[in-house]
Structures are given as structure tokens and as C-alpha cells.
Amino acid sequence: MTIVVNVSDAAVSDDVEDVLSTYSLGSCIGVCAYDPAAHVAGMLHFQLPSGAMDPQRAQQNPFMFADTGMERLLRLMAEKGADRRRLRVKLAGGAQMLNDNNLFNIGRRNQTAIRKVLWQYGLLIDREDLGGNSPRTLYMKVADGTVTVKSGARTAVL
């Protein structure tokens, strides 16, 4: 079954038949985390770097932000039996979208934010497809953690 992760959203699955997917990754970043031993997959689609920017919004929807989103995602994955020390992490997104005149440089700031958050959790990034100017679509198979990124005509396995 395909599980769609919306903007400012996350999903976790341990069903090997599932594929997690998310769309419209522009300046947003999609985080894929996978425990290969427990076959638990988690995907987060966050928009902004830090919940400190808007604590009320962060409380209402933690998945909007890199820090609160990762905290919640890791907790959800642990509840399904994932061990953080085994997690393989892959990232996609963080683009500079040409239609936002890059005033706030959100894509770049999201990249910095997620690197910092992952470091704090002791997680290294296995593969990444970040930056550029184009939106991305992201898929992750729960069966084996395979992550595929599509952007325009380009398709790549991370």
C-alpha cells in the first residue's frame, strides 16, 4: 500500500508491503529513516528549520519543523521497534525555488537545520539529494528501505 506523507507531515510503517511517499519537496526536506533489522521505515516532510520560530504552531503540528518533527518521528519509530543506533538516514529536497526570490533562503536553512538535528541525535546521513532549483518526489519501500527520488525527468536511487 502507498502511504502518502503530506506537507508538514510524517508516517511510520513496519508493513513490508508499504511504500511511503511524499511530493512537492521544494525548499522543504524529506527525511527517510530506516531500521534494516526491524524493517521499520519513517518519513518526515518538514517545511521550516525550527519550532522555536513559532512554538504554538510547533505544538499543533510538530512535523512542520526539522527539530520537533525529527523528535516526534524518532519516537514513533521507536514505538514500532526501531533502534535509533541502527537507523539509516537519507535526505531529499532543500531546493532554492525560483518563485520565492530566495529572500529567506529557506531551502539552505532547512539543510543546515536538519544536519544539526541529526548530529544531535547521533545520526549520520547515508545519502542525500539536496539543493538545486527543482521540486522532488520521494519514495521509500518499507520492505528494504530503498529510497527513490524523482525530479523532472531524473530518477535516482539514493
Catalytically active residues are: 28
Nearest CB to another protein, comparing residues 55 and 131: 131
**Quick one: 37 or 53, whose CB is closer to another protein?**
37
CB of 91 to another protein, least distance (A): 11
Query: CB of 88: closest distance to another protein in angstroms?
Result: 9
CA dihedral 119, 122, 128, 133 (to 10 degrees): -30
- 7/38 with CB nearer another protein: 38
Count of residues that bind another protein according to CB under 8 A: 6
Containing H/E element for 76? helix 66-79
Taking the alpha carbons at both ends of the chain, their separation in whole angstroms is 21
Report in angstroms how near the CB of residue 116 gets to another protein at its nearest. Answer: 11
Pairing relationship of beta strands 88-93 and 29-35 according to DSSP bridges:
antiparallel
Q: Counting contacts by CB under 8 A, is residue 87 touching another protein?
A: no
Spatial strand order of the sheet with 9-13 comes to 9-13, 40-46, 29-35, 88-93, 125-130
Least distance to another protein, CB of residue 124, Å = 5
Q: Are 3 and 20 in contact (CB under 8 A)?
A: yes
> Which CB atom, from 75 or from 84, has the smaller least distance to another protein?
84
Let me know: does 2 contact 21? Beta carbons within 8 Å.
yes
**Segment 101-140, which members bind another protein (CB under 8 A)?**
115, 119, 122-125
Q: Site residues (CB under 8 A) for another protein?
A: 115, 119, 122-125
